Each structure stands twice: as C-alpha cells, then as structure tokens.
C-alpha cells in the first residue's frame, strides 16, 4: 500500500496543500488518514477520488 503525504498528494492532483486542508473540512477531497499529527493519503483513495471526477460532458453528468 502506497502512502502519500500532503505535498505529494497536492502535486499529483494539481492543487495547493491549502486546498487539500479545506477539502478535509468539507469532505470534498480524497479520503485521508491521520497518523499521529500527520495527515496522509492512500494512493488507492486518491485514484478512486480521481475516477469519481471523470465526466463525459461539461454538464457534470457521468
């Protein structure tokens, strides 16, 4: 199982770490885990989140 830190996850999906922080509050981003004080993301959760964003038109309907 591959584990990514905040910076690696932000780089992978093309957002700033502060955006991930906001998404953790709103529940909008990928699933995450807290290991002590550290926030991490499993690669499989990032991949699933990206898949959930795939659309076939600009209307947002898949």
Give the mean pLDDT per block of 10 residues along the chain (62 residues): 98 98 98 98 98 86 54
Q: Could you give phi then psi for residue 43, rounded to 5 degrees?
A: -60, -40
So what's the pLDDT on residue 36?
A: 97
Q: Could you give phi then psi for residue 5, rounded to 5 degrees?
A: -85, 180
Q: Could you give phi then psi for residue 22, rounded to 5 degrees?
A: -65, -45
So what's the pLDDT on residue 61?
A: 58
3's enclosing H/E stretch is strand 3-5
- For the full predicted model, state whether its pTM sits above 0.85: yes
42's enclosing H/E stretch is strand 38-42
């Amino acid at each position: 199982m591959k584990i990514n830190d905040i910076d690696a996850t932000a780089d992978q999906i093309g957002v700033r770490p502060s955006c991930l922080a906001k998404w953790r509050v709103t529940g909008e981003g990928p699933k995450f885990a807290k290991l002590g004080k550290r926030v991490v993301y499993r690669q499989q959760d990032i991949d699933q989140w990206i898949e959930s964003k795939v659309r076939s038109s600009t209307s947002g309907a898949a």
